[in-house]
């Protein structure tokens, strides 16, 4: 039998394979659209709208609106878009036929993605959301808003034509519907309103047909360090429900429809944010339970207790993603409070400013413990940054810089604490709190810490110190605060290159470790190992969850090192005494050596002495 010949494998030329791969890459790169800049940027959208009374066939409101959005890229390279609170004016026709101009705030409550990059460097977002407008503490209009935004590259603006006049009378609704359809087909339409209500003084409910459309879109690079983070928003929504749900429900009955609807909307947004952030299973379970209790109109005490548990879980697992407290001087921020806040909240913070009488709900009093219960500087900072839906509280993100917003947040919570004394100052200084702890603690939590620190009579004075400029500035002056900020920036996506803030944190810690080691060697070693662990996780390309877990576990180690550094260093001998002891030790060594030599000589001479004695005549 003829043996079978081995099969010959055909060897392909490696040169041809490389040429084919190169050709494919060239084809892909030349065919792919130019990607827009992936750096964070702020987007400004100008809108114009018209609302028609379907019964009277008359225009009842015209509005101009500026809606800010924020776009950034997370660590996985996914482009995200976050709505911010916008402002605008509406000319509303009242029952008496006269027009009245009303200032309002607006926010896009939800949207869809991901975006599409276009060949000219623009980026197209298909939005599917609700545009929520409010003025004088009540809903002006909530409309479905579904445009396609083509956002130009940073520094550029794209404009669209818009009609200056709108139809009224017979056929107005049909003509407005055709305009609405045309805008929708062009990707700029939205704002279809059927059977919704527009609230105008004196509060008639009017069935509307209207349209809101885009007239200008522009973008610019985002300022570093001012990004409102999703973790901030999630925590903020839970804190608001904990504090304000009691205004909407009592004894199982809804007492304020607008406020109750606001609580439901805040929890819906919280669920979306929780999904994006990938919170723990325990946090998900608690959030579902909170929503269930709100749907059942349960007791405000029960809902607040659940929210507190959820807040503690979020702080324990997402605290690293919160904005770093960065206040400027509290003393310097008082004029800003008078200029920006006193008109509503009053010069003293009593909530009785000259504009307060026209606002519903009324402005918060910072002097009333019931009004400030559950409030923290972090929550006040978020209110200043994003506004408060359902109230006249506007967003000040553009008007007030980041550091001054944080300073205002600490300042307003200091207004009711006037029990300050030298004894309280000394007792408060003895209790070390980090800036993070001050920013996320309620007065009730700080009062509990104060009660543990001293006798119950001094608790109010210690609490006053915690909230005072001295207490905040003492916490901010800690040399560990820059290390914590750099650690947050490295792992939260705020810094483009995580290695830069991590190296800075390593250098700052290395400078502090010798003094920490003198006081507590174990704490120094633990802090150094924790920061090394974060750096290794980042450099090895570990998953975000693992990096954040290692970074968050480093915070307690840094805190222990910080507390060790605040303890007195062990006492050293005086230099003169040390020198004297050294001389005494040297003298002892010299004397001991001489004595040893003498003893050895005596021992060496003993046999000869004995021999001479035995050889002598008797």
Per-residue pLDDT tens for 142-159?
A: 666 667 788 888 888 988
In the predicted model, is pLDDT for residue 483 greater than 90? yes
Provide the pLDDT for residue 69. Answer: 83
pLDDT 10s digits, 20-75: 555 544 443 444 333 333 467 888 888 887 777 766 667 777 778 888 887 877 65
Q: Which helix (H) or strand (E) holds 70?
A: strand 58-73
In the predicted model, is pLDDT for residue 480 greater than 70? yes
Q: Which helix (H) or strand (E) holds 306?
A: helix 300-318
User: If DSSP codes are grouped into helix, strand and coil, which group holds residue 577?
Assistant: helix
* Residue, of 23 and 401, whose pLDDT is higher: 401
Provide the pLDDT for residue 432. Answer: 80
Provide the pLDDT confidence category of residue 109 given band limits of 50, 70 and 90. low
* Residue, of 280 and 454, whose pLDDT is higher: 280
Distances (CA, A) of 440 to 83, 195, 332: 24, 42, 22
Provide the pLDDT for residue 618. Answer: 41
Count of alpha carbons within 13 Å of 110, Cβ hemisphere only? 16
Considering only CA atoms, which of 407, 435, 385 is closest in space to residue 337? 407
12 Cβ partners below 8 Å, 6+ apart? none
- DSSP, residue by residue, 433-482: --HHHHHH--HHHHHHHHHHHS-GGGHHHHHHHHHSHHHHHHHHT-TTHH
Q: How far apart are CA 31 and CA 26, in angstroms?
A: 8
User: If DSSP codes are grouped into helix, strand and coil, which group holds residue 221?
Assistant: strand
Determine how many CB atoms are found less than 10 A away from the CB of residue 89: 15
Considering only CA atoms, which of 400, 398, 394, 384 is closest in space to residue 133? 394
Q: How far apart are CA 397 and CA 391, in angstroms?
A: 17
Q: Highest mean pLDDT: which of 78-87, 117-126, 381-390, 476-485?
A: 476-485
Beta strands 253-254 and 249-250 are: antiparallel
In the predicted model, is pLDDT for residue 95 greater than 90? no
Give how far the C-alpha of residue 451 lies from the chain's centroid of Cα atoms, to the nearest Å. Answer: 30
* Residue, of 2 and 390, whose pLDDT is higher: 390
* Residue, of 601 and 254, whose pLDDT is higher: 254
Region 83-90: mean pLDDT is 71
Q: How far apart are CA 41 and CA 219, in angstroms?
A: 7
Considering only CA atoms, which of 44, 43, 390 is closest in space to residue 240? 390
Considering only CA atoms, which of 480, 465, 452, 472 is closest in space to residue 560? 480
Provide the pLDDT for residue 415. Answer: 93
Q: How far apart are CA 549 and CA 266, in angstroms?
A: 28
In the predicted model, is pLDDT for residue 537 greater than 80? yes
């Amino acid at each position: 039998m003829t043996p079978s010949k081995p099969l010959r494998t055909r060897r392909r030329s490696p040169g041809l394979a490389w040429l084919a791969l190169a050709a494919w890459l060239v084809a892909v790169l030349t065919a792919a659209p130019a990607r827009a800049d992936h750096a964070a940027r702020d987007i400004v959208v100008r809108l114009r709208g018209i609302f028609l009374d379907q019964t009277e066939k008359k225009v009842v409101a015209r509005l101009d609106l500026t809606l800010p959005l924020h776009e950034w890229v997370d660590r996985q390279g996914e482009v995200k878009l976050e709505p911010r609170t916008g402002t605008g004016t509406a000319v509303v026709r009242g029952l008496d036929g006269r027009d009245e101009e009303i200032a309002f705030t607006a926010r896009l409550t939800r949207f869809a993605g991901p975006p599409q990059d276009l060949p000219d460097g623009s980026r197209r977002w298909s939005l599917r959301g609700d545009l929520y407008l409010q003025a004088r503490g009540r809903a002006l209009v909530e409309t479905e808003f579904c445009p396609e935004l083509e956002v130009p590259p940073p520094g550029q603006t794209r404009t669209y034509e818009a009609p200056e006049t709108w139809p009224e009378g017979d056929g107005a609704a049909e003509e407005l519907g055709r305009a609405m359809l045309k805008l929708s087909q062009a990707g700029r339409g939205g704002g279809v309103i059927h059977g919704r209500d527009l609230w105008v003084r004196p509060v008639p409910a009017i069935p509307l047909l209207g349209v809101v459309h885009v007239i200008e879109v522009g973008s610019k690079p985002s300022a570093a360090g001012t990004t409102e983070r999703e973790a901030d928003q999630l925590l903020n929504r839970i804190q608001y429900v904990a504090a304000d749900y009691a205004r909407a429900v009592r004894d199982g009955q809804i007492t304020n429809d607008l406020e109750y609807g606001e609580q439901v909307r805040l929890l819906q947004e919280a669920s979306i944010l929780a999904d994006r952030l990938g919170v723990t299973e325990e946090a998900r379970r608690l959030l579902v339970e909170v929503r269930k209790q709100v749907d059942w109109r349960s007791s405000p005490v029960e809902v607040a207790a659940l929210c507190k548990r959820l807040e503690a879980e979020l702080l324990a697992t997402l605290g690293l993603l919160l904005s770093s407290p960065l206040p400027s001087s509290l003393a310097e921020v008082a004029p800003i409070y008078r200029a920006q806040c006193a008109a509503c909240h009053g010069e003293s913070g009593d909530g009785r400013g000259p504009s307060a009488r026209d606002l519903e709900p009324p402005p918060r009093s910072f002097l009333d413990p019931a009004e400030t219960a559950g409030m923290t500087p972090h929550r006040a900072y978020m209110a200043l940054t994003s506004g408060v839906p359902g109230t006249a509280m506007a967003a000040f993100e553009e008007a007030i810089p980041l550091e001054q917003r944080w300073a205002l947040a600490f300042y307003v919570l200091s207004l009711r604490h006037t029990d300050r004394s030298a004894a309280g100052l000394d007792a408060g200084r003895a209790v070390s709190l980090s800036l993070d702890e001050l920013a996320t603690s309620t007065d009730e939590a700080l009062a509990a810490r104060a009660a543990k620190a001293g006798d119950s009579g001094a608790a109010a004075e210690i609490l006053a110190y915690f909230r005072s400029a001295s207490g905040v500035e003492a916490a901010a002056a800690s040399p560990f605060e820059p290390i914590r900020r750099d650690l947050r920036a490295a792992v939260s996506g705020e810094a483009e290159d995580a290695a830069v803030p991590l190296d800075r944190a390593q250098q700052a810690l290395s400078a502090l470790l010798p003094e920490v080691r003198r006081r507590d060697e174990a704490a120094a070693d633990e802090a150094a190992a924790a920061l090394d662990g974060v750096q290794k996780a980042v450099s090895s390309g570990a998953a975000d969850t693992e990096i954040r877990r290692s970074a968050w576990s480093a915070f307690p180690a840094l805190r222990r090192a910080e507390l060790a550094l605040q303890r007195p260093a062990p006492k050293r001998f005086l230099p003169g005494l040390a020198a004297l002891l050294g001389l005494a030790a040297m003298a002892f060594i010299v004397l001991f050596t001489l004595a040893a030599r003498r003893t050895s000589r005596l021992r060496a001479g003993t046999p000869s002495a004995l021999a001479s004695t035995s050889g002598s005549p008797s």
